[in-house]
Structure 1
Amino acid sequence: MSESAYRVETTSRLAQWRIENLASCTYRKSDPFKIGKWNWHLSVEKNRTLFIKLFPEISNSTRENPPIASFIIRVVSSVGDRKCLVHPEVTDKQLKSNEDFIWAIEVPLTGKFIIDVEFLDLKIAPPDGSGPCSIWAEGFTKAQSNATALTSLGRMLSESIHTDIVINASDGSITAHRAVLASRSPVFRSMFSHDLKEKEMSAINISDMSLEACQAFLNYIYGNIRNEEFLAHRLALLQAADKYDISDLKEACHESLLEDIDTKNVLERLQNASLYQLPKLKSSCMRYLVKFGKIYDIRDDFNSFLQGADRELIAEVLNEILAAWKGF
């Protein structure tokens, strides 16, 4: 049998498999064909009844995130009077295996025929548990539209397009937009909604941040921050996130500060964890100091810490040390 007997012809959303001859009591499975993100197969089995199956190629990807398909499938017989059998439209059918869609055809078909599958939509279920979304819609609406919007928002800041508020940092000033700041921070929104000096003077004084750190803060708010910029100013960004109640920035700083604890920064991070109520960071710093014994590598710094740190935090560290000694 020629290789073409198993080949499925495709366009972007249409697949056609031409069957030249299917003898009785015969099974045949097509070669894989690509539609959307998945490779697919068609199979036919003829006994007294003709069974047609459509299914994705089985892999870890299809098991974990199977396609949810909407399609119309037809069988067109090209012998004698042209017959076209159409299965009722299939809508949002999850297909994991070769048993999930089976079409049993009782009408006898002989000779040449075509199996025609028109995919109306293909969806996947997002990992966040929200409703299925189309793979053909998400490309533009989520990726391209969001990227364009963020680029435009970043340009508004970098090119000072219609700015209406001045941010005074410790060593310089930068202009921004009230509406953007208010949409990201309830603290800023309150400033601009009430008769406070910030509203009257069209200026905000952030004297505890350098101009570079303030620029990084605004770049984050506008969705335009670079990774190296974020890493360089994490502690200043953490302070600003706490002060202006921007929870996603605070959590981003929290997660990042967990990643590179070492002897040079552990005591500073421990104090910040206590100050800004970051439980995972505090726990990680405690374990690093006590369980892993790094407290002995920084005795001079630890002695300075004992002289100047918050009393409650010192007590917590000493309790951890005592608990560790009892464990030996």
Structure 2
Amino acid sequence: MRRHRCHQAIRSESDTGSETEAETMKCISCKEEYGSRDAGTCKECYEEASETEEELKREIEDLKAKLAFLRFGSPLDHAHRGSSTSAPFFPDVVLVPSDDGSPGFPPVPVPANKAVLVNRSPVFKAMLENEMEESRSGTIKVSDVSYDALRAFVNYLYTAEACLDEQMACDLLVLAEKYQVKHLKGYCEKFLVSKLNWDNSIMSYAFGHQYNAKLVLDAALSLIIDNMYRLTKREEYIELLEKDPKLVVEIYEAFLSKQVNTAAPKDCSMKS
């Protein structure tokens, strides 16, 4: 069983000089010395740590059981695109994408439950609790989204799970921002930050600015500022300069601000 770092021990030689006196170990937890040369901590602390570890394991298992109990069955658990329902599912609303990737065919709706949408999104709540068209018709049209992204979005509202790549993370972040699903937005932002590099930094900066993704925006801006000498050589820089010159100005302002802060005295309270 893995031992906690705080239960490491420090060996100390007896200062009596006796060759027959055994080495002692001092437990960092309780500070008591003990004679074992093999154990990493005293017996009492080791047993206490083991009990704590077992208790934490039981708590984790209990939380997993509660989550499984509270988890709504997702539409993806019951049906796949183009197939019949494989388990009981009682949708009372459908979300229709504007683009489902099937030219010549009508968009494929994604079934859902109003109760789930209302509890996950204040935007859906406003739509469905008031006498709006979506509430009367039971149909919510979602513009500028593919079927796959919309299906993944609805699935996340039920399960808090999503299989991400960079494109899907961007698509879901856009939906999360539009429908104010903060948990999903944060999840996608962290994923995109983990994939951030110099090649996609300018696009990520513009994307973060457009959809109020502060984590992405700040991480991308920091990377750009650290590589300012390479900035003007990028095609994306020229495109950004033509499309949204205000963002380029903000980049240079942030760069100059960092230069000023770096050059400032460390102790501003010192008088010359």
- Same-fold call, TM > 0.5? yes
2:63 maps to which residue? 142
- Contact in 2 for aligned 1:291/1:324 (Cα 8 Å): no
Q: Do the aligned partners of residues 259 and 195 (structure 1) sit closer, same or farther apart at CA in structure 2, a change above 3 Å counting? A: same
1:60 maps to which residue? 4
Matched, 1:317 2:251: yes
Structure 2 residue matching 1:162: 3-state secondary structure:
coil
2:184 maps to which residue? 249
Instruction: Report the TM-score when normalising by structure 1.
Output: 0.55
Matched, 1:167 2:73: no
Shift of 1:142: 2.0
Counterpart code for 1:261: L
Indicate which of 180, 199, 205 corresponds to 2:141: 205
Structure 2 residue matching 1:254: 3-state secondary structure:
helix
Structure 1 residue matching 2:239: 3-state secondary structure:
helix
Counterpart code for 1:239: V
Shift of 1:147: 3.6
Larger Rg: 1
1:86 maps to which residue? none
Matched, 1:220 2:142: no
Q: Do the aligned partners of residues 231 and 145 (structure 1) sit closer, same or farther apart at CA in structure 2, a change above 3 Å counting? A: farther
Separation in 2 of the partners of 1:62 and 1:222?
40
Gap runs ≥5 in structure 2: 9-40, 100-106, 264-272
- Contact in 2 for aligned 1:124/1:134 (Cα 8 Å): yes
User: Moved runs in structure 1, 4+ residues, more than 3 A?
Assistant: 61-64, 96-100, 122-125, 133-138, 147-154, 156-160, 320-328
Q: Do the aligned partners of residues 187 and 157 (structure 1) sit closer, same or farther apart at CA in structure 2, a change above 3 Å counting? A: farther
Separation in 2 of the partners of 1:246 and 1:146?
19
Q: Do the aligned partners of residues 318 and 203 (structure 1) sit closer, same or farther apart at CA in structure 2, a change above 3 Å counting? A: same
Q: Do the aligned partners of residues 63 and 178 (structure 1) sit closer, same or farther apart at CA in structure 2, a change above 3 Å counting? A: farther
- Contact in 2 for aligned 1:157/1:175 (Cα 8 Å): no
Gap runs ≥5 in structure 1: 1-37, 40-58, 65-95, 101-118, 126-132
Matched, 1:279 2:200: no
Counterpart code for 2:150: C
Structure 1 residue matching 2:159: 3-state secondary structure:
coil
Q: Do the aligned partners of residues 263 and 291 (structure 1) sit closer, same or farther apart at CA in structure 2, a change above 3 Å counting? A: closer
Count residues with an aligned counterpart: 212
Instruction: Let me know the Cα RMSD of the aligned residues.
Output: 3.5
Q: Do the aligned partners of residues 164 and 260 (structure 1) sit closer, same or farther apart at CA in structure 2, a change above 3 Å counting? A: same
Deviation per residue, 1:90-128 (Å, 9 max, x gap):
xxxxxx96677xxxxxxxxxxxxxxxxxx9xx5569xxx
Deviation per residue, 1:283-319 (Å, 9 max, x gap):
2212222312441441x321111111162x2321122
2:24 maps to which residue? none
Indicate which of 216, 232, 254 corresponds to 2:167: 232
Separation in 1 of the partners of 2:59 and 2:257?
56
Shift of 1:257: 1.4
Counterpart code for 1:60: H
Structure 2 residue matching 1:169: 3-state secondary structure:
strand
Counterpart code for 2:138: S
Q: Do the aligned partners of residues 264 and 215 (structure 1) sit closer, same or farther apart at CA in structure 2, a change above 3 Å counting? A: farther
Counterpart code for 1:241: A
- Contact in 2 for aligned 1:170/1:208 (Cα 8 Å): yes
Structure 1 residue matching 2:249: 3-state secondary structure:
helix
Indicate which of 302, 316, 321 corresponds to 2:237: 302
Structure 2 residue matching 1:280: 3-state secondary structure:
helix
Deviation per residue, 1:126-158 (Å, 9 max, x gap):
xxxxxxx6644642x322443465484452575
Counterpart code for 2:67: N
Shift of 1:275: 2.5
Q: Do the aligned partners of residues 292 and 201 (structure 1) sit closer, same or farther apart at CA in structure 2, a change above 3 Å counting? A: same
Instruction: Report the TM-score when normalising by structure 2.
Output: 0.64
Separation in 2 of the partners of 1:238 and 1:315?
25
1:91 maps to which residue? none
Any residues of structure 2 matched to 1:258-277 within 5 Å, and which? 258-277=193-212
Q: Greater share of strand residues, 1 or 2?
A: 1
Deviation per residue, 1:138-195 (Å, 9 max, x gap):
42x3224434654844525754711111111012221111111111111112211111
Shift of 1:62: 6.6
Structure 1 residue matching 2:144: 3-state secondary structure:
coil
